[in-house]
Structure 1
Amino acid sequence: MAMRDLRYFGDPVLKTVCDPVTRFDKGTEALVKDLLDSVVPEGRAGLAAPQIGVSLRVFSYDVGGLSGYVINPEIVELSEETHEVGEGCLSVPELWFPTVRSKHAVVRGVDLRNEPIEVEGFDVLAQCLQHETDHLDGKLYLDRLATGSKKEAMRQARGKDWFWKR
């Protein structure tokens, strides 16, 4: 099992729009395996490649007994029905803030054979699909917070010892 070190809020890789995967080789296979291995520990629902320092459009998920990965994911459907849910992030540890997310989401991408796949989720899995796709677009859940919550989150994050400093 290859657990990869996490990147934390402040690291520029987390604010970079990821490149699509164009080579489906042993390197891509190793990245997917590392993402799957690194999402297994309790308390983790998903992990995107930039969170381990790789700027490619890949994420893994492990929610409610359903686990997998998506390469080059795109959100193709979001329900109009939303809810405010407590959200956290492995790259912003210890902080949880209410975030508005669609209750239903559908993501399409490809697998390691470059074959089409689709993942549909409700509630927590829908939240995960949206959260991980945001990572690939260079966004953190903090970017979605209401102004007051966002200011408080930024203040708290900058005071943490994990905050990435140059």
Structure 2
Amino acid sequence: MAIRTILKYPDPGLSRPCEPVTVFDAALTALADDLLDTMRAAPGVGITAAHVGVFTRLVVLELSKESGASFYANPEILLSSEELMRHTEGSVSMPGANDEVERPKRIRFRYQDLTGVVHEEDAEGFYSICMQHEIDQLDGIFWLKRLSRLKRDRLLRKWGKGK
């Protein structure tokens, strides 16, 4: 297990869509463990392989220490609620920057675990927001793209001054 270097915004890799995981082996498990260590060191509650420059569809979430970490290969949203919620988001690739994003309150999604077994889950609230945020990253959609142009420009000016 190792802490990897996180790509920093505006690295072009953060806009690159990821390829599906096709091999479920020790190398995938090692990458997942590295992502967990990297996320905890950042610190953050979610990270994708893309954040460390590995463009494969792998997500790690640890929404609380009590619940522990979860690993998701090839996650995809199947259904989204019409009901929306706002939540403050940020990224390990853009430390110190955050703003409110509006997303569906509930989703149903499918993923594979680290052994390749397919699962479907419902997520609501913070869990739903985090999963949508990380799936966006796998699709090459950095969270800033979910902000209005005005909010994005304001945040980038403020963030640029703080670096």
Give the total of aligned pairs. Answer: 161
Structure 2 partner of 1:108:
110
SS in 2 for 1:18: coil
More strand by share: 1
CA displacement, residues 115-158 of structure 1 (integer Å, 9 cap, x when unaligned): 10234322111110000001100011100001210121233344
Counterpart in the other structure of 2:45:
45
Structure 2 residue ranges without an equivalent (≥5): none
The corresponding residue for 1:59 is 59
Identity of paired residues, percent?
A: 32
- Which residue number corresponds to residue 155 of structure 1? 157
Residues 36 and 69, structure 1, Cα contact 8 Å, conserved in 2: no
Q: Is the 8 A contact 2:78 2:108 kept in 1?
A: yes
Return the offset for 1:26: 2.1
3-state SS of paired residue (1:75): strand
Answer whether contact 1:36 1:68 (CA < 8 A) is retained: no
Show the counterpart of 1:86: 88
Match of 2:16 in 1: 16
TM-score by length of 2: 0.89
Unaligned runs of 5+ in 1: 162-166
Shift of 1:55: 0.5
- Distance in 1, Cα, partners of 2:129 & 2:113: 21
In the alignment, which residue of structure 2 is the partner of 1:164?
none
Contact 1:106/1:121 (8 A) holds in 2 = yes
Give the Cα–Cα distance (whole angstroms) in 1 for the partners of residues 125 and 43 of structure 2: 16
Supply the AA of the counterpart residue of 1:58: L
Amino acid across the alignment from 1:108: R
Partner SS for 2:97: strand
- Alpha-carbon contact 1:88-1:97 (below 8 Å) kept: yes
Aligned to 1:122: 124
Q: Whole-Å Cα distance in 2 between the matches of residues 73 and 12 of structure 1?
A: 22
- Let me know the Cα RMSD of the aligned residues: 1.8
Q: Which amino acid aligns with 1:118?
A: E
Q: Helix, strand or coil: the match of 1:13? A: helix
Matches within 5 A, 1:25-36: 25-36=25-36
The one-character-per-residue Cα deviations of 1:69-92 (angstroms, maximum 9, x if unpaired) are 100110112211112211111111
Q: Secondary structure at the match of 1:94?
A: coil
Q: CA deviation at 1:107?
A: 2.2
Return the alpha-carbon distance in structure 1 between the equivalents of residues 35 and 94 of structure 2. 18
